[in-house]
A and B are shown apart, each in its own frame.
Chain A
Amino acid sequence: MQTFDRSTTAFQELIGTMRQQWANQLYPALHRQYQAQGAGRDITDSAAAGALVADSALYRWFCFIERHYQRMKYSDPRWGLVVALKADPESTAAQLHPAVDSAVLELHPELPIPEYYRAIDIHQHPGNLVGADYDGLMYQASATSIHPNTRRFEVHERFAQLLQQRGTFDSILNMGCGFGKCSFPIARIFPQAQVTGIDLSAPCLRLAAHTVQSLTLPNVRFIQMDALHPGFEPGQFDLVTSTQLLHELPVAEIHQLLKESFRLLQPGGQMMHLDFRTHQPWQQFLIEGHSVRNNEGFLPAFNHMDIEAAMTAAGFNDVKVEAYAETPGSTDADWPFWRLPWTLFSARRPLDLAS
């Protein structure tokens, strides 16, 4: 992990605490206000849910803090992650350019970066993840405060455990692997499998390759590759996964990703993508607002698309869309704190469609 000077550390810790209190103090108060306003009413859509709180002072501060704590985390001119990482280029270079075995890391600088990826500073990460060499370190540092009320990377460790419950796999593709936060627990839990992480972001992949050298995980490799146009042979994997990738794609690209997931799977192989979904009016109102405030421009369209039909159209069967608990109890009806509506999208390539 990147270390910062005392002032930057104190500032980033403050941001993390703000995030925690926003989720555990402001959100419950806002939810209570919504419940009081909505008592006895038939609320059928997100607009009706939002109308109950939209003019309240509490809601405005809730939105304001959601927007600006994240902006400051990255872009504060004194202690934001951008200035902190730019201030110490030697340390950053030392972390990102170790001698890496070519069997662990394969970069393709000529890979075209799609327009949708450049168009938006997803979750307010300036320039997205392809703008500077230190983007992987910046995303890694930022990820410490993304999911309140979970242990660091608990989401991904639990996902790997869930995969283990669904089968035994030998060849696993982790799409949109970033700096490896999901690839590592998968590789750890399936030591007999070869795990391949692919991503558009060279800075993230360099960090992943650097990190894996200290983890004693000989069964994971990273390749710079577009998940929508992966250069693998058909049927090369028995499990295709991703976490938090689908909602960062426009709808047409999601269809393409499902099509590729199908092509890359062996007959009988499984696809499991972890992402977000809700059709509950209050949650939908929150997620639509979150998409604006946190620059998640494609999330609302993803939430609205008929993903089950899209998976079926891609050729899959056993199509399932299930709520996912990122930490114990979080999907319980009385969970009091703010959370993203984690959802598992899974399906299987039929045995009888072998190519």
Chain B
Amino acid sequence: MIRTDSPKTSKRAEFEQLFFDSESTDRLGQMLLVMASELHVLRDRVRCLEFLLANNHSIDIRELDHFEPSPQQARVLHNDRETFVAHLFDVLDGHAQSTSGLGHPLAASAPGT
């Protein structure tokens, strides 16, 4: 069976590669990438939804502007917002890295590292 407690992690306690003049700038850049990802995925989903709705003739798209969520739907929207912000802030601790091996004895002699 597949292990569900995989040792894999998206974060490791390793140094942070910096490309700009400060950690702040690099992390701002990473937030931009997260924003771009969120925006693109959202756009993709909306466009696909429009395709589905149009295919099914199931909605007048103007209803969207007058939509009032039910309490249950409001909780879903709230959770979406929290997940979005958590994703956006995830890069700010500087540990969104993978193991480079830099400094490892086996790689230490490599020039340019």
Contacts and interface: CB of A to CB of B under 8 A. Distances in A.
B4 interface: yes
A297 B8 contact: no
B90 A301 contact: no
A111 interface: no
A61 B20 CA distance: 8
Contacts of B79: none
Given A89-B4, A93-B2, A300-B111, A10 B40 contact: yes
A80 B110 contact: no
A119 B3 contact: no
Determine which residue in A14, A65, A80, A125 has the highest number of CB atoms from chain B within 10 A of its CB, and name it.
Answer: A14
B2 to A, nearest CB: 4
A96 B1 CA distance: 9
Interface stretch (A131-139, A176-184, A341-349): A131-139
Interface in A281-333: 288-289, 291-293, 295, 297-301, 304
B70 interface: no
A120 interface: yes
Interface residues of B, number: 43
Contacts, number: 150
Interface size for chain A: under 10, 10 to 19, 20 to 34, or 35 or more residues?
A: 35 or more
A6 interface: yes
Contact of B10 (A83, A115, A297): A83
A64 B29 contact: yes
A153 interface: no
Contacts of B40: 10-11, 14
20 contacts: A6-B44, A10-B41, A64-B20, A64-B26, A74-B10, A75-B98, A78-B37, A83-B10, A90-B2, A120-B101, A120-B107, A121-B98, A132-B6, A132-B8, A288-B111, A291-B110, A291-B112, A292-B102, A298-B107, A301-B110
Interface of B: 1-4, 6-11, 17, 19-20, 26, 29-30, 33, 36-37, 40-41, 44-45, 48, 83, 86-87, 90, 96-102, 104, 106-107, 109-113
